[in-house]
Structure 1
Amino acid sequence: MDLTMPIPLPGIPMVSSVAKTTRPSCEQDGFSERTKIMRYSGPDLPEDIWCHIHALLPLPDAARAGCVSREFLRCWRCRPNLTFSQETLGMNLTFFERLLRLACEQDKLALKFTEIVDQIMKKHTGSGVKTFKLECCGSRIYASRLKSWLKIAVNPQLEELVVSLPVVYDAKHYNFPCPLLFNGSGKSISYLKLKGCAFQPMAGLGCLRKMHLSEVHITGEDLGCLLSNSFVLEELDLSKCNNITCLKIPSLLNQFNHLTVSRCKTLEVIENKAPNLCTVRIDTTLVRLPFGDSLRVKNLEMLWPFEYNLVYYARAELPQIMPNLETLGISSAAEVLNTPIVPAKFLHLKLLEICLSVAEGAFSPAYDYLSLAFFLDDCPVLETFELSVCQTRMKHDSVSGDYSLLRKMPEHHHVSIKNVKIDGFCSAKSMIELTCHILDSATSLENLTLDTIYGADYEHVDRLAVHEIGGCSSPIGKRMIRDAHKAVLAIEKYIVGKVPSNVKLNIKKPCSQCHSVK
């Protein structure tokens, strides 16, 4: 193959071959002359403008364009943004199916992917790549080829580096060639994302602002070395990095403001000393995972769905640990204890999102939804409250009887709450009581949305309208369909009459086509 020309990608015909096959032989000579004129004519623009236009094209289109003229060929060779994945290489589903039928193994897929990337990278040697993103296909890594690509990609102009490798159970991690980054070639990298490799950094990266590590074999000591010498780092995301027991964030990181930690099984403590950490996403409680300095944290999400009593913990402990919270998101698998009454308040909290979710079965019938009123009462500037309840059946006592039988909380006025949404609204008596309490106390309420089908994220009041664009969201079981219809009746009986005229009530009913009761 002539390595001076672009690589023919799967499903991407070369321009020259099209020209030869679309004209009768008697017209070939005349057509060839016209083709030469067409291939070299065009707007007289500076080369840097053409290169900029070429860089905006998707990779397959850029490969085609490189066949048109010498100018475009030069643009192709110096393309600054290289993204390799199943999609960008044109390896569509039909190609996958054909390849797997012939090979019946992922190794052949990896080999084909490697060959295509290898040929493209050889044409970009010394081109000054600014963005290099690699999402390997197949089930294996050709380490020598990968290292040769990184030698080309990692240069003093590189700004974004993404390497996502296949994670095979019990397989040895690929050792990322760290000397390539820390010999001066990686000095301009501002975004680093690695997955499925071993990483042993030897120093810091002076321009690094965002780093995401997923299923990366790295120790707390090595990570600490990198953090201590990456002075402009702003964001760190760790996922499934199971060799870290202690995460130390040094005080020198004055711009560090965003931390995400999820499913790092061996992590025991976070020693945060960064003075301006603002946003934390974590999959456990801060009692189980001591955190360090958290007084400046304004946004917190606790999202791990297998932790219990996160709502209880948040109300009981967080006002002392993070007194300046402005947004709080909680995902809890079970609440055995009702929301407590404590003297400390969330004086700055404006957004509260609570998700009560069980993958199979009912959310604990012992939990009193009305106890969430204690949470709301202690958030004096709260503006938005969203409650989501995900379950496959409902075991709470359903509402029944006269309105006078509903419990009422002590009188309290919420002067800031404007928007309330309950997703997965059910017929539970305590949920009806919570909704009525909000209507009685939220004097500034503007919007109340009650969605009887969990996870159906549509704006249509009548779900039948969405069938024009593909139907309803993921199906739900018959138990919850029946309860959704009961919930609608409960809303009409106990809630509609309490809604003030200045409040917009949005009741999202079951779809008459997908959620019918037979």
Structure 2
Amino acid sequence: MGTPQVSYGSVASRSETTKGKRSRSLGQQDLHEDIWCHIHSLLPIRDSARAASVSRTFLRSWRYRPNLILSEETLGLEQIACGEGDIARALTDKIDQILKNHSRTGVKTLELDIFGCRDLDTCYLDNWLQVAITPAIEKLTLSLPSKCQEGYSFPCSLLFGQNGGSIQYLHLTRCAFHPTVGIGCFRNLTELYLGYVRITGQELGCLLSNSLALMQLELKYCSEIICLKIPCMLEQLSSLTVSDCSMLQMIESQAPNLTTFDFEGDNLVQLSLQQSLQVNDVDMQCSEENFLCYAITKLPYMLPNLESLTLSSSSERVNTPMAPAKFLHLEYLEIYFDGDPSPGYDYLSLLSFLDASPVLETFVLRVHQFNLKFDSIFESASHLRQMPEHKHGNLKDFSIFGFCSAKSMVELTCHIIESATSLECITLDSVFDQEDDDDLGRCCLTSARKTGACWPLSDEMMLEAHKGLKAIERYIVGKIPSTVKLDVRRPCSQCHP
């Protein structure tokens, strides 16, 4: 009886084949799980949490979900038929449970909107932030209740060491924020927003000096900043917005690549933009008297390379003077009267801005009429002033929103029609709208969607709107060249018959 021959090679081959099949099967399973996890991560957070209760794959995905956007809306609490306190408690409980389940999982994004939780116990906040702020965090947004503005201080100690190094976006609203010299390096921070935040200029300077990648800085209602200094080391900073910082007296920027500057405030501050050659887009709103005079006499020297300029004034008591220098590169100009100028204000004096802007292509004038006190064209139409020496060869688009029967406004319009040889389009709207959209009727504007109607107009405003239309028909329509498109906008026939 012969000895059976055993082929060890064939046995090994079958074993390897079986192992290979099992490996491929596990690999496919992992791939399928990765796909399901990706799909799960795209679900809204409320649906994501629900799905976690019916699938172990989704449960694992939920526990490691990196992006958490938590608010009444995303957690489905806004439609609960119960009292405000019950909603706040439900929101607190849900957020607390979610963040406890995500402890040590590497949250990348935390957006926490709990503005409605007026009775929030701030100890919850510290616990939640301790969970979220790890070396993995990239985006942190906190919108806190009003009481936190005075009674809650952001725990800056959580940002020491490596924890702040990964943050790219930091958005804080209604709290105190006191970074110190020992704070960590925000080497990846590109966008910083502070709204209703108690922080001093020196503390903000500590933060900025450690944020060399910063590209956008926005400060709103930060009432403890007196002097804002932007160091020259912020070479990536391109956009600076400062709004309603009531104690602010000075803005000094040495950022070499700043291109966009927005300012809003009751009073003018001292501006020192030493490296301002790159600034080409400016929006300034100021309640200080005769702000347009300041703008036309100072800005050409401070910001010589402006291409777009928006100015909002609420108190013009004198006519706009001639400019001592020119905006040599200005292509877009928008002037907004957010309040009645003096009854004797001469809109024709705005030609000073056009004369100072030799390459201007678009001029937009918005006039929010309140008291309607001015010299009407129908009361003194005997003589319309002409300015033949003023030419505007590059102007293509001219608009007035809130067109009225003021004689000087009619004179301004007639002059531009006659002197702007490249004019293509004129828009005259007899009603001032907060927003305008060429493709939408007034009732469809964003500002009117909540009520389904246009903004209400007083009888006096309605009467003036029709006077403005009559002035357009009598004094302007006949002067329009055939090459120029005239768009005359009337009050809404549905809401203001």
| Superposition TM-score, scaled by structure 2 size | 0.87
Structure 2 counterpart SS, 1:487: helix
In the aligned structure 2, how far is the partner of 1:317 from the partner of 1:489?
38
Out of 297, 303, 309, the position equivalent to 2:285 is: 303
Q: Which residue of 2 aligns with 1:399?
A: 377
> How does 1:278-293 map onto structure 2 within 5 Å?
278-284=259-265, 288-293=269-274
Out of 219, 235, 238, the position equivalent to 1:257 is: 238
> How does 1:300-379 map onto structure 2 within 5 Å?
300-304=282-286, 306-358=287-339, 362-379=340-357
CA contact (8 A) 1:461 1:509 kept: no
In 2 relative to 1, CA 78–485 (structure 1 residues): closer, same or farther, beyond 3 Å?
A: same
Shift of 1:338: 0.8
In the aligned structure 2, how far is the partner of 1:235 from the partner of 1:502?
43
In 2 relative to 1, CA 98–462 (structure 1 residues): closer, same or farther, beyond 3 Å?
A: closer
CA contact (8 A) 2:245 2:265 kept: no
Q: Which residue of 2 aligns with 1:68?
A: 54
1:78 paired with 2:64, answer yes
Shift of 1:460: 6.0
Q: Which residue of 1 aligns with 2:215?
A: 234
Out of 424, 427, 437, the position equivalent to 2:402 is: 424
CA contact (8 A) 2:229 2:252 kept: yes
Structure 2 counterpart SS, 1:73: helix
Out of 160, 178, 194, the position equivalent to 1:213 is: 194
Q: Which residue of 1 aligns with 2:358?
A: 380
Q: Which residue of 2 aligns with 1:99?
A: 83
One-letter identity of the residue aligned with 2:438: E
CA contact (8 A) 2:425 2:485 kept: yes
Out of 138, 162, 167, the position equivalent to 2:141 is: 162
In the aligned structure 2, how far is the partner of 1:336 from the partner of 1:515?
32
> How does 1:407-418 map onto structure 2 within 5 Å?
407-418=385-396
One-letter identity of the residue aligned with 2:344: A
Q: Deviations over 1:186-240 (max 9, x none)?
A: 2111110111111122334110011000111111111111111111111111111
Q: Which residue of 2 aligns with 1:9?
A: none
1:153 paired with 2:132, answer yes
Query: RMSD over aligned Cα, in angstroms?
Result: 2.5
Q: Deviations over 1:67-102 (max 9, x none)?
A: 23111111111111111112111112x42x5224xx
CA contact (8 A) 2:316 2:342 kept: yes
Out of 413, 427, 445, the position equivalent to 1:449 is: 427
Q: Deviations over 1:285-312 (max 9, x none)?
A: 99632324133321111124x2221211
In the aligned structure 2, how far is the partner of 1:466 from the partner of 1:166?
30
In the aligned structure 2, how far is the partner of 1:464 from the partner of 1:221?
48
CA contact (8 A) 2:318 2:342 kept: no
Shift of 1:54: 1.9
Q: Which residue of 1 aligns with 2:463?
A: 482
Q: Which residue of 2 aligns with 1:275?
A: 256
Q: How many residues align?
A: 462
**Unaligned residue ranges in structure 2 (runs of 5+):** 1-28
> How does 1:173-252 map onto structure 2 within 5 Å?
173-202=151-180, 203=183, 204-252=185-233
Q: Deviations over 1:254-296 (max 9, x none)?
A: 1111111111111121221111111111125996323241333
One-letter identity of the residue aligned with 1:289: Q
Q: Which residue of 2 aligns with 1:55?
A: 41
Query: Which structure would you say has the larger Rg?
Result: 2
| Superposition TM-score, scaled by structure 1 size | 0.84
In 2 relative to 1, CA 179–401 (structure 1 residues): closer, same or farther, beyond 3 Å?
A: closer
One-letter identity of the residue aligned with 2:125: L
One-letter identity of the residue aligned with 2:56: R
In 2 relative to 1, CA 141–454 (structure 1 residues): closer, same or farther, beyond 3 Å?
A: same
Range that drifts further, 43-52 or 175-184? 43-52
One-letter identity of the residue aligned with 1:87: E
Structure 2 counterpart SS, 1:290: strand
CA contact (8 A) 2:367 2:432 kept: yes
**Unaligned residue ranges in structure 1 (runs of 5+):** 1-42, 101-105
In 2 relative to 1, CA 189–417 (structure 1 residues): closer, same or farther, beyond 3 Å?
A: same
In the aligned structure 1, how far is the partner of 2:102 from the partner of 2:444?
50
In 2 relative to 1, CA 466–233 (structure 1 residues): closer, same or farther, beyond 3 Å?
A: closer
